[in-house]
Amino acid sequence: MSIFAPSSNSFRREPEEEKTILVTRKHQINLLAPLYSALGMALIPFLFYLSVKSRAWYPIFSSLFWSLYFLYLLVLWSLVFYNVMIYFLNNVVVTDRRVIENRQKGFFNHETDEVELKNIQDISVKVVGSVAHFLDYGDIELQSAGAARKFVFTKLPEPEAIKETIMQLKMKAN
Amino acid sequence: MFNFFPLLFAIVLALYGWYSFSVIYHLIRFGIGKHPKVLALVFFFGSFLLFALFVFSYNRVDWQQMINYLFHS
């Protein structure tokens, strides 16, 4: 059972002759919300500590308080990294042959969609809202000829640059 | 009398071990690029440190003193 990928940018079931050009995932702002929530939740017991540390009974219960606090931090830490894992494994890979979308829905629950570059008929970019405009993220829609379906990759950073890369690769592939 | 708590602790520890393994396995096996691998290492060391701190502080809990304070003061 090999758990390490052959090279730093390789992905599962990648043929040897295929070259990864771009790996992207949702804008980092999507990861910041759970991180800041966890940070806020980690501080709540600490604020409780500040309010009770001068009480006469606190030294008797301090060890229990800190052990429960570290256990609470361990749970938060694990939840944060579950979100980090989901964030990093939901990605879009552009190779010199195809565009692949990996969707990780949980532990051992994974879906992959892909479209050959030569089958792409149309690429469009949608940037909606002031936050998306200033942080430069948006949706990319790929219209595929073969399957007659639309691939929508949401909240990708620098969508215009990604679109340009895919267009150039498509021209080379044709 | 059968002490239930060590068994409960062992079950929770085994479940947490499986959870941690799953996070690390997914990040290393399916992560693309070096960032997921580095994050797996950060998660491992952070979990180990927090678990060690929990066990250390739990061992320092003086249950008798707390019981005396709660029921005899």
DSSP per position, B20-72: HHHHHHHHHHH--SSHHHHHHHHHHHHHHHHHHHHHHHHHT--HHHHHHHHHH
Q: Give residue A1's pLDDT.
A: 45
Asked if B17 reaches chain A (Cβ–Cβ under 8 Å), the answer is no
Residue A102, pLDDT > 80, answer: yes
A59-101 pLDDT, tens per residue?
A: 889 999 999 999 999 999 999 999 999 999 999 999 999 999 9
Q: How far is A2 from chain B (nearest CA, A)?
A: 8
Q: Give residue A73's pLDDT.
A: 96
A89 closest CB neighbour out of B31, B53, B66: B31
Q: How far is B44 from chain A (nearest CA, A)?
A: 10
Q: Give residue B13's pLDDT.
A: 93
**Contact (CB, 8 A) for B44 and B64:** no
Q: Do A88 and B27 touch (CB under 8 A)?
A: yes
Residue B25, pLDDT > 80, answer: yes
B57 closest CB neighbour out of A67, A78, A108: A67
Q: A20-25 and A150-157: which strand pairing?
A: unpaired
Backbone φ/ψ region at A124: left (φ over 0), alpha (ψ -120 to 50), beta = beta
Topology adopted by domain A20-174: PH-domain like (2.30.29)
Measured in residues, chain A has a length of 174
**Contact (CB, 8 A) for B28 and B36:** yes
Q: Looking at beta carbons, which residues of chain B come within 8 Å of A91?
A: 32
Q: Give residue A14's pLDDT.
A: 67
Please state the rounded mean pLDDT for residues A36-44. 94
Asked if B14 reaches chain A (Cβ–Cβ under 8 Å), the answer is no
Q: Looking at beta carbons, which residues of chain B come within 8 Å of A31?
A: none
Q: Give residue A145's pLDDT.
A: 79
| Residue of chain B whose alpha carbon sits nearest to that of A56 | B69
Query: pTM (2 decimals)?
Result: 0.86
Q: Do B43 and A11 touch (CB under 8 A)?
A: no
ipTM for the predicted complex: 0.90
Q: Give residue A9's pLDDT.
A: 57
d(CA B64, CA B56): 18
